[in-house]
A and B are shown apart, each in its own frame.
Chain A
Amino acid sequence: MTRTGRDTARGTRAAPPGEGAGPVRRPSRRGAWVLGYAFVAPTVVLTVLFSLVPLGMLLWRSLYSGGVFDFAPTFVGLDNYTAMLAEDGGRALGVTGLYTAGFIVLTMGAGLGLGLLLNSRAPGVARLRAPFVIPLVVPVVATALIWANMFAPRFGLVNRLLGALNLPQADFLSSPGLALLAVLTFGAWQFFGQNVILYVAALKSVPRDVLDAASVDGAGAWRRFRHVQWPMMRRQTLLIWVVTTLTGLQTFTQIYVLTQGGPDGATSTALYYVYNEGFVQFDTGRANAMGVALFLLSLLVTMAQLWLAGRADRAR
């Protein structure tokens, strides 16, 4: 919390609302109160109504047998959770973990590598940053359809290339062993540009004179990276990891368009499971149990961020 925040809290305790309580530091103070409440009201009210209330409903209803058409749901304790984990939900969490791990490695690896290249002093290189924004901003449904076409069995781009190289062809999106890899390839393509942009910004924040000093001391490119740039980007790497992990955990549109969770659940992620149980199978109990799992996983990532950031600050 910032200094001003603490000051206010103290000021509040010293001067409760009421006639002439406390020293009036500024004539417009009461006006500022009213304006303050009016200004924060939309954000606060809408956050309560459309984030906290649904969260409460989620936690509460995850303990009840569910069905959209069930008007008198009964309390079932943790049954939804055990049923969810025992059946496809447990597998969906596994798929999500695998997908997210691959997603982090691919997009952060490509982001850092290309970030370093874009940070080089070669002329004109800085302008090459712009193309990486494109996959991020065009509609995912459209790019997913493009990739579905590129992965198509005989005439798709990938199989054409494999055929040209005399390698065995495959029906990627219908093969249990390859579908997740295909979806991951598309997911990484769609997102890695964000990590390129962020690593370019992070690398720019490393002062040139520190790098130049390292060069003068005889450090080559690798040692400059290992001992100057990488340690100085620790905070940004942590933030990039958090955003990337949260994005990976919430993968949905890619699956919805490309595989619908198939073949046989091989690409059913946690969020796709929530959607499928909640809006297709209408078993809202299990959908909510998985919703809670997703919420807790996201919370865990955010907590890990705070903890790691705190530890890094103490180390400094």
Chain B
Amino acid sequence: MPVSLLARRAVVYLLLGLAVLIVAFPLFWMAVSALKTDAEIVNPAAPLWPAEPQWSNIGQALSQAPFGRWYLNTAIFGVAATAGQLTTGLLAGYAFALLEFPGRRLLFLVALSGLMVPFSAIIVPMSQLLGDLGWLNTYQGLIVPNIASALGAFLFRQFFLGTPRELGEAARLDGASEPRVFLSVYAPLARPMIAALAIILFLQNWNNFLFPLIVVNTTDMSVLSQGLSVFQSQFTTQYNLIMAASLVTVVPVLLVAVAAQRHIIEGITLGALD
């Protein structure tokens, strides 16, 4: 191997290593900070690694706030919203692509208009609307407004436009009803795409902060991110406990991310480049 190629590869590895370090170091900082004593964490001269890891910090942080309840709320919200988005997106995408009915074009434009209205622009009227419905601080208030997914409908439509129409025609000739054609012929084809979208939508819902913030203001109904921000405002200077609480919220997501990284990368690409 020529020397110039070796040198070039060394530079590639060096730069990538540096970038990975920049990504990973804050998480490492969180972990070691969570295990420090009160004295260690505010001492600028203390070594990076705690002299004696304080594992009890984690238990102490967990006992100071209802993390179990927040986990439960986040899971209910994450699972229900994701299942809703996938279902409505799959159904609408299929109908817009392969079923014929009057007004299809107009209805598709209505569905797409959801992409043009960023949620952040309408947070005030959204909270007033949910207030009028009596849905503040409820699960339906968290879940129902998030069920329609314009992006999901759009992506599934693209997908089904690329599937052969002959499959459905053949099934119809065999006497299959329209719902059967969808369930037995076309829906199974979308399985890989459902997997890629499911994980990315779930993580988005799991990490959603702004929406719960404007719909929920009780401790009982808070999601994990909200709870963590409240925890921080109550224990402002107990940095080790704050980092321990952050650790508790980060680790499960990190495990999911590592296990499902291929689907996540696929989902990100699907959402932005198609």
Question: Which residues does A use to contact B, with CB under 8 Å?
Answer: 1-2, 4-5, 8-9, 11-12, 16-17, 26, 28-29, 31-33, 35-40, 42-44, 46-55, 57-58, 61, 68, 110, 114, 117-118, 120, 122, 125, 128-143, 145-147, 149-150, 152, 154-155, 157, 159-160, 163, 189, 193-194, 197-198, 201-202, 236, 239-240, 243, 246, 250, 252-253, 256-257, 271, 274-275, 278-279, 284, 287-288, 291-292, 294-295, 298-299, 302
Contact = CB atoms under 8 A, between A and B. Distances in A.
B153 to A, nearest CB: 5
- Most chain A CB atoms below 10 A, which of B213, B225, B264, B272: B272
A40 B125 contact: no
A133 B114 CA distance: 27
Interface in B208-267: 209-210, 213-214, 224-226, 228-229, 232, 239, 242-243, 246, 249-250, 253-254, 256-258, 261, 264-265
Contact of A202 (B100, B207, B273): B273
Given A146-B246, A295-B118, A39 B99 contact: yes
A43 B121 contact: no
A139 B249 contact: yes
Interface residues of B, number: 99
B173 to A, nearest CB: 10
B103 interface: yes
B185 interface: no
A299 to B, nearest CB: 6
A184 to B, nearest CB: 15
A68 B136 CA distance: 15
Contacts of A114: 15-16, 19
Interface in B87-125: 87-89, 91-92, 94-97, 99-105, 107-108, 110-111, 113-114, 116-118, 120-125
A232 to B, nearest CB: 14
A160 B182 CA distance: 61
B147 A132 contact: no
Contact of A149 (B16, B22, B242): B242
A298 B226 CA distance: 26
A35 B182 CA distance: 10
A201 B206 CA distance: 26
**5 closest A-B pairs by CB:** A46-B148, A36-B101, A39-B95, A57-B125, A36-B99
Nearest to A288: B124
The residue in A35, A130, A139 that gathers the most chain B C-beta atoms within 10 A of its C-beta is A139
B44 interface: yes
Nearest to B253: A138
B137 interface: no
Contacts of A2: 161
Contact of A294 (B101, B118, B177, B256): B118
B207 A140 contact: yes
A152 B239 contact: yes
Q: Which of A58, A142, A152 has the most CB of B within 10 A?
A: A142
B16 A47 contact: no
